[in-house]
């Protein structure tokens, strides 16, 4: 514990975002640069609890407690406070393969379970993590780490999102030869084309890919396994296959007018925007640009927020976000006690930008789409308020007559989440699937087909980057144990 009275002396101070009017003019990093003095004071607020929940990484009643990766947060904070950034990085690296990703996109499950956070604002764990990893990269101290010996085993990893990258990284560290197959033109999966550049700079992703390549991981891009790359080729030429294809099937509207032109999915929109920003072969589809348009975004999660922020940067005329769930409370509800992740009202970067630009929060809660209107192309959306009715097995929304509202719309973005993995590859392999539509495993990560493993959203369902990283690492260990036996 760097400073015994730190949590009593210092208030929480988050690293701020750049001013709204400045940042909406570009796609550069949202966040301002943190200075060491501020970060050192914030790390001093960590109490080095006797029983720390910040790194527990467990699920209770569907809620998360602490970091899924088991990050050694109190130790890292103590080292940062005394100025040992390299030591903090070494401790971080023991459990975390890519802190530069989670420091930018994770909702900070660790902070939700911080003991200080039971009564006071929690420690700024994510800001501290980012300062450490960014400082190490800037000083040139993040070096490739190659295994001391090779096992002679080769493993094909399908998908290069967070789970695939973490899996390949761990397989390689354990001495196996890992080859990652990615159907897109650039590795990174969701990290590359599903998250906007201002939230996760693509240079950060590509830099990690470069390091992994130098460590011995092989990347094959533009190759879709199950189509131009036969799955039988992988199962016959590699000792094992790990499926990390994500939950790429997006939930879509099922209402009159859903097939009109101008009704698109969030991933289509965000991927095209990133390609335009980076000059990486955008399609040129004008229907995927929000400039001068009334944009209606359907959904309330992080992806919807990213659609709001991207629409604003593209010059949207107006932005409205429809959220079927009711507005969350401003403080923890009784059924959401500490140390569970707090389900409370937050205003993310996209909503903050919309409030300053348009004068109001773009979110309309307890509302869904009743109909999409237009002749050939969307012109408006008819929304309707809902109330949630409790039933056995969970609550369901019921439309409220008389609450209909017509909202101008030239572009409707479906950001309602994902329903599971695409089935082409799993059907070709004839894998057993769970009732939820995910790959069934043996209680671990091996599927119903020996030496074929699954990890990340493909196995657990749509989740967070931190959980995907954890799953990728654990699947790699399970795969290595199957191929090489126990190393204990």
Q: What number is the average pLDDT over the span 394-404?
A: 94
Strands 294-298 vs 377-391: parallel, antiparallel or unpaired: unpaired
Give kind and range of the element (H or E) at residue 143: none
**How many angstroms separate the CA atoms of 33 and 30, rounded?**
10
Q: Which of 359, 385, 416 is the last residue of a domain?
A: 416
Q: How many CA atoms lie within 13 A of 275 on its CB side?
A: 17
Do 44 and 102 belong to one domain?
yes
Q: Which of 373, 391, 416 is the last residue of a domain?
A: 416
Residue 191 carries which DSSP code? Answer: I
What is the number of residues in the chain? 488
Do 303 and 286 belong to one domain?
yes
Of all residues in the chain, the percent with pLDDT exceeding 90 is: 90
Has residue 149 been placed in a domain?
no
Q: What is the pLDDT of residues 334-347, one digit of tens each?
A: 989 999 999 999 99
Largest CA distance in the chain: 70
Do 410 and 306 belong to one domain?
yes
| Residue range(s) defining the domain that contains residue 430 | 154-248+419-484
* Per-residue model confidence (pLDDT) at position 488: 59
Do 238 and 318 belong to one domain?
no
Which residues 6+ apart lie within 8 Å of 290 measured at CB? 269, 310, 311, 314, 315, 316, 411
**Scanning the structure block, which residue is given the tokens 């533009």?**
222
| Dihedral sign of CA atoms 465, 467, 468, 474 in order | positive
Has residue 144 been placed in a domain?
no
Has residue 147 been placed in a domain?
no
* Per-residue model confidence (pLDDT) at position 455: 97
Q: Is the pLDDT of residue 117 over 70?
A: yes
SS3 assignment, position 370: strand
| Domain CATH number, residue 265 | 3.50.50.60
For residue 217, what are the CA distances in angstroms to 54, 212, 233? 32, 6, 19
Residue 474 carries which DSSP code? Answer: H
Give the dihedral of Cα atoms 438, 441, 446, 450; nearest 10 deg.
-100
Q: For residue 73, which phi and psi values (nearest 5 degrees)?
A: -65, -50
Q: What number is the average pLDDT over the span 369-373?
A: 98
**How many angstroms separate the CA atoms of 348 and 350, rounded?**
6
**How many angstroms separate the CA atoms of 159 and 456, rounded?**
10
Do 242 and 359 belong to one domain?
no
Alpha helices in 238-301, H assignment, sequence order: 266-278
Do 260 and 406 belong to one domain?
yes
Q: Is the pLDDT of residue 236 over 90?
A: yes
Residue 95 carries which DSSP code? Answer: T
For residue 36, which of 114, 128, 118 has the smallest C-alpha distance?
128
Do 13 and 105 belong to one domain?
yes
Do 54 and 100 belong to one domain?
yes
For residue 475, which of 186, 170, 223, 262 has the smallest C-alpha distance?
170
Of all residues in the chain, the percent with pLDDT exceeding 70 is: 99
Has residue 79 been placed in a domain?
yes
Do 232 and 367 belong to one domain?
no
Q: What is the pLDDT of residues 49-76, one digit of tens each?
A: 888 999 999 988 778 899 999 999 999 9
pTM: 0.95
Has residue 148 been placed in a domain?
no
Q: Is 401 exposed, middle or buried (0-12, 13-18, 19+ CB in 10 A)?
A: exposed
Confidence of residue 310 (pLDDT cuts 50, 70, 90): very high
| Domain CATH number, residue 70 | 1.10.1060.10
* Per-residue model confidence (pLDDT) at position 4: 87
* Per-residue model confidence (pLDDT) at position 392: 83
Do 403 and 469 belong to one domain?
no
């Amino acid at each position: 514990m760097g400073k015994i009275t730190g949590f009593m002396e210092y208030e929480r101070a988050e690293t701020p975002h750049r001013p709204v009017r400045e940042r909406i003019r570009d796609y550069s990093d949202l966040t301002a640069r943190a200075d060491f003095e501020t970060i050192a004071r914030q790390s001093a607020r960590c109490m080095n609890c006797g029983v720390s929940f910040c790194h527990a990484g467990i699920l209770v009643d569907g809620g998360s407690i602490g970091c899924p990766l088991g990050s050694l947060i109190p130790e890292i904070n103590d080292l940062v406070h005394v100025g040992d950034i390299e030591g903090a990085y070494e401790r971080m690296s023991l459990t975390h393969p890519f802190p530069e990703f989670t420091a930018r996109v994770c909702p900070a499950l660790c902070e939700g379970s911080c003991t200080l956070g039971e009564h006071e604002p929690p420690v700024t764990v994510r800001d501290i993590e980012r300062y450490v990893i960014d400082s190490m990269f800037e000083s040139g101290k993040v070096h490739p780490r190659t295994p001391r010996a090779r096992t002679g085993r080769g493993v094909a990893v399908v998908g290069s999102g967070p789970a695939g990258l973490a899996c390949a990284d761990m397989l390689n560290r354990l001495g196996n030869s890992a080859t990652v197959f990615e159907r897109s033109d650039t590795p990174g999966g969701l990290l590359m084309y599903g998250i906007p550049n201002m939230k996760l700079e693509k240079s950060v992703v590509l830099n990690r890919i470069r390091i992994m390549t130098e460590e011995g991981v092989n990347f094959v891009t533009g190759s879709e396994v199950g189509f131009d790359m036969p799955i039988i080729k992988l199962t016959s030429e590699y000792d094992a296959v790990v499926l990390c294809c994500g939950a790429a099937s997006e939930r879509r509207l099922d209402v009159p007018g859903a097939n009109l032109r101008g009704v698109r999915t969030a991933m289509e929109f965000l991927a095209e925007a990133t390609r335009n920003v980076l000059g990486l072969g955008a399609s040129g589809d004008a229907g995927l640009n929000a400039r001068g348009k009334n944009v209606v975004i359907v959904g309330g999660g992080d992806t919807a927020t990213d659609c709001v922020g991207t629409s604003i940067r593209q010059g949207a005329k107006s932005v409205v976000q429809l959220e079927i769930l009711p507005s969350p409370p401003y403080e923890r509800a009784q059924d959401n006690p500490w140390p569970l992740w707090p389900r409370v009202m937050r205003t993310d970067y996209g909503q903050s930008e919309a409030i300053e630009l348009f004068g109001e929060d773009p979110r309309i809660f307890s509302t869904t789409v009743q109909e999409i209107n237009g002749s050939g192309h969307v012109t408006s959306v008819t929304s309707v308020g809902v109330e949630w009715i409790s039933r056995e097995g969970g609550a369901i929304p019921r439309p409220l007559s008389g609450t209909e509202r017509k909202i101008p719309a030239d572009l409707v973005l479906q950001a309602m989440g994902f329903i599971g993995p695409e089935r082409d590859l799993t059907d070709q392999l004839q894998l057993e699937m769970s009732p939820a539509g995910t790959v069934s495993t043996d209680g671990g990560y091996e599927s119903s087909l020996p030496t074929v493993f699954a990890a990340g959203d493909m196995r657990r369902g749509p989740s967070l980057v931190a959980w995907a990283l954890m799953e990728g690492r654990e699947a790699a260990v399970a795969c290595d144990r199957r191929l090489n036996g126990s190393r204990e």
